[in-house]
């Protein structure tokens, strides 16, 4: 008999294609319509808590507390950044996952604070790169993102590439004008 994918739950379908994990499908948040889930998940990780807060009419702080409760991931009010964060985890993962290594990391485990419940894929990447088991904590998005920006600047992938495309076009136009000016002389 051929398997009918329509008989699977949405989270099972997402797991199979590797696009969403249980945390990304937000099965842990009760009474949220599928459309609202999709709207929240279509935003960058760093914006999801704010968007979810607006959807459920809570403050970001209340949303993070509820998210911690529903996902069973502890919420930390404050955190101390590890002395040398990029020695523990590559800068690219810090920016892509909106996470930071915190004090308390050892050779066996790496303690991370993030703005959104981590996916299994995130945990696998952290383990593959560091060789340490990740121990996740949720942190207030504003504090985590401020710390990332303050310590590492903005991620290159967060820059709008269309601005660079315009710069390239302008440079090409300038080159053509320079060539024309050289011909006239």
Say yes or no to pLDDT of 164 above 90: no
Provide φ and ψ at 169, rounded to 5°. -65, -40
Determine the pLDDT at residue 152.
87
Looking at residue 160, its pLDDT comes to: 42
Q: How far apart are CA 179 and CA 114, in angstroms?
A: 52
pLDDT one-digit tens code per residue, 79-115: 999 988 999 999 999 999 999 999 988 889 999 999 9
Residues 6 or more apart whose CB falls under 8 angstroms from that of 171 comprise none
User: How many other CB atoms are there within 10 angstroms of residue 6's CB atom?
Assistant: 6
Report whether 113 contacts 76 (CB < 8 A): yes
Residue 68, CA atoms < 13 Å, CB-side half-sphere? 19
Overall pTM > 0.85: no
User: 8-22, 26-40, 80-94, 106-120: which range is least confident on average?
Assistant: 8-22
């Amino acid at each position: 008999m051929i398997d009918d994918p329509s008989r699977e739950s949405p989270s099972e379908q997402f797991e199979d294609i590797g696009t969403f994990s249980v945390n990304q499908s937000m099965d842990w948040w009760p009474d949220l319509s599928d459309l609202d889930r999709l709207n929240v998940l279509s935003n960058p990780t760093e914006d999801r808590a704010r968007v979810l807060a607006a959807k459920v009419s809570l403050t970001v702080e209340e949303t993070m507390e509820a998210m911690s409760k529903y996902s069973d991931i502890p919420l930390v009010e404050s955190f101390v950044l590890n002395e040398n964060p990029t020695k523990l985890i590559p800068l690219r993962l810090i920016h892509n996952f909106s996470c930071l290594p915190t004090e308390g990391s050892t050779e066996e485990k790496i303690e991370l604070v993030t703005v959104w419940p981590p996916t299994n894929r995130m945990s696998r990447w952290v383990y593959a790169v560091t060789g340490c088991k990740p121990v996740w904590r949720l942190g207030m998005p504003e504090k985590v993102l401020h710390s990332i920006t303050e310590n590492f600047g903005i991620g290159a992938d967060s820059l709008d590439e269309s601005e660079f495309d315009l710069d390239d076009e302008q440079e090409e136009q300038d080159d053509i004008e320079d060539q024309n000016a050289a011909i006239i002389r």
